[in-house]
């Protein structure tokens, strides 16, 4: 066992895990993998999945009889599992990696028998606003944070937001920034075959917060000679059918090609990144939903793509303005269109930003984040 690890087991509990996709699912998988490689005894509790979806994991994985949503039924089912396993959890480090299991633990925290010896939490952003919205969840959240041994966030922005709404987090909160997936290979970008059009790519679920509609409208705002040079590719599923319908209606009126590619496997996604020229994800704050960091920006940068994004939330900590991409204030559609025009017309700038992004994308390390999460909690 590593000198950094202890004999106390780590139970990582999450509703966001493979085969689910997205930033939180990637975060929980990579933290579990890195912690195991550091010598920690890790057991992941995750939402149900079909046997065909499983991989060979370096840690123990327990699938729970719940679908992994934040609804009350899911919380009750997880609470029941926590009660059944309370003797195992009592002398362990329990790591709640996202808001789903936090809600279940909030219901049990009044009973000392269900409090683990060490409690570690990670906040990603939007849940901070949701928890603080009502007096009841704000009270429960404060108690949970008070009982926590350590708390992490992926960005300084999220850390400040957490301490603003929950002052109890002051003094026990630290950064565990996201990084590239462990199996992600940063390879030199080869010479692309000549193409008639510049490909603008967005990767993210089809949701108003991800800003696909704003990107599409900014591209439509380009002068005709620039629209004639581009096509727009969108990758991601559609949890909101109305939003996808609005996107497709807007796309039907565009005079340049737009491709909705849906969800694609990681190996195919890598090839699509390599065929693109510009990455755009113009996230916005949407109600209580915010962009706390954005692992996808690191992946795009690792593929040598210059990035266009809105300067909101923790995006500035994933995209270096003027170094790896161009950040534009939200609600400035003319500036967003101008940013696209700047990259479309300047291949040297695209190359410069893309090359800088390769180095930038490798600056964080999952093992360092895992060590920060558990080393002090277990000493």
Task: Record the tokens describing residue 15, joined without a space.
Answer: 């509703």
Contacts within 8 Å (CB) and 24+ apart, 85-92: 86/113, 86/114, 88/9, 88/11, 89/11, 89/114, 89/116, 90/115, 90/116, 90/117, 91/8, 91/116, 91/117, 92/8, 92/9, 92/10, 92/11, 92/116, 92/117, 92/118
How far apart CA 113 and CA 190 sit, in angstroms, is 58
Choose between 134 and 195: higher pLDDT: 134
Instruction: Give the pLDDT confidence score for residue 51 in this predicted structure.
Output: 86
Q: How confident is the model at residue 240 (pLDDT cuts 50, 70, 90)?
A: low
Is a pLDDT exceeding 70 seen at residue 190?
A: no
DSSP strand pairing (307-310 vs 258-262): unpaired
The arithmetic mean of pLDDT across residues 67-84, rounded, is 91
Give the pLDDT confidence of 322-370 residue by residue, as tens digits: 999 999 999 999 999 999 999 999 999 999 999 999 999 999 999 999 9
Give the pLDDT confidence of 248-290 residue by residue, as tens digits: 999 999 999 999 999 998 889 999 999 999 999 999 999 899 9
Choose between 5 and 49: higher pLDDT: 49
Asked whether the domain spanning 198-360 has the same topology as the one spanning 10-179+364-374, the reply is yes
How far apart CA 226 and CA 26 sit, in angstroms, is 36
Is a pLDDT exceeding 60 seen at residue 193?
A: no
Please give the span between the terminal C-alpha atoms of the chain, in angstroms, as a whole number: 15
Instruction: Give the pLDDT confidence score for residue 186 in this predicted structure.
Output: 62
Instruction: Give the pLDDT confidence score for residue 3 in this predicted structure.
Output: 41
Q: How far is CA 184 from CA 130, 266, 267, 283, 288, in A?
A: 33, 10, 10, 24, 31
Instruction: Give the pLDDT confidence score for residue 130 in this predicted structure.
Output: 95
- Give me the chain's average pLDDT, please: 92
User: Lowest-confidence range among 155-169, 178-192, 230-244, 337-351?
Assistant: 178-192
Give the pLDDT confidence of 97-146 residue by residue, as tens digits: 999 999 999 989 888 777 888 999 999 999 999 999 999 999 999 999 99
Instruction: Give the pLDDT confidence score for residue 196 in this predicted structure.
Output: 85
Domain boundaries, the chain: 10-179+364-374, 198-360
Q: Which fold has domain 198-360?
A: Rossmann fold (3.40.50)
Is a pLDDT exceeding 60 seen at residue 1?
A: no
CATH of 10-179+364-374, one of 3.40.640.10, 3.40.50.2000, 2.60.120.10, 3.90.1260.10: 3.40.50.2000
How far apart CA 331 and CA 321 sit, in angstroms, is 18
Instruction: Give the pLDDT confidence score for residue 183 in this predicted structure.
Output: 81
CB within 8 Å of 249: residues ≥ 6 apart = none
Give the pLDDT confidence of 29-69 residue by residue, as tens digits: 999 999 999 999 999 999 999 988 788 999 999 999 999 88
């Amino acid at each position: 066992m590593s000198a950094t690890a202890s004999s106390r087991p780590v139970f990582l509990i999450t509703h966001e895990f493979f085969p689910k996709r997205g930033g939180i699912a990637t975060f929980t998988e990579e933290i579990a993998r890195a912690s195991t490689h550091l010598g920690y005894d890790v057991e992941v509790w995750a939402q149900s999945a079909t046997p065909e979806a499983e991989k060979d994991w370096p840690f123990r994985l327990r699938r729970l009889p719940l679908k992994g949503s934040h609804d009350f039924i899911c919380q009750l089912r997880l609470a029941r599992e926590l009660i059944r396993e309370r003797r195992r959890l009592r002398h362990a480090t329990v790591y709640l990696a996202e808001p789903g299991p936090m809600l279940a633990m909030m219901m049990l925290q009044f009973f000392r028998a269900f409090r683990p010896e060490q409690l570690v939490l990670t906040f990603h952003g939007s849940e901070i606003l949701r928890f603080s919205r009502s007096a009841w969840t704000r009270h429960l959240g404060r108690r949970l944070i008070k009982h926590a041994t350590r708390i992490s966030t992926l960005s300084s922005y999220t850390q400040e937001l957490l301490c603003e709404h929950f002052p109890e987090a002051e003094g026990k909160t630290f950064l565990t920034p996201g990084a590239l997936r462990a199996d992600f290979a940063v390879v030199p970008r080869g010479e692309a075959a000549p193409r008639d059009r510049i490909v603008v790519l967005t990767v993210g679920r089809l949701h108003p917060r991800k800003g696909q509609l704003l990107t599409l409208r900014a591209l439509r705002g380009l002068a005709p000679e620039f629209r004639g040079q581009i096509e727009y590719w969108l990758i991601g599923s559609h949890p909101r059918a109305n939003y996808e319908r609005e996107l497709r209606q807007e796309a039907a009126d565009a005079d340049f090609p737009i491709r909705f590619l849906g969800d694609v496997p990681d190996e195919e996604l890598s090839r699509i990144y390599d065929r693109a020229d510009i990455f755009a994800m113009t996230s916005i704050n949407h109600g209580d939903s915010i962009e706390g960091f954005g692992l996808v920006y690191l992946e795009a940068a690792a593929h040598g793509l210059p990035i266009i994004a809105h300067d909101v939330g923790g995006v500035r900590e994933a995209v270096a303005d003027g170094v790896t991409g161009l950040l534009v204030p939200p609600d400035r559609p003319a500036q967003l269109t101008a940013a696209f025009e700047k990259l479309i017309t300047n291949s040297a700038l695209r190359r410069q930003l893309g090359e800088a992004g390769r180095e930038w994308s490798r600056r964080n390390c999952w093992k360092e984040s895992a060590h920060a999460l558990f080393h002090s909690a277990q000493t």
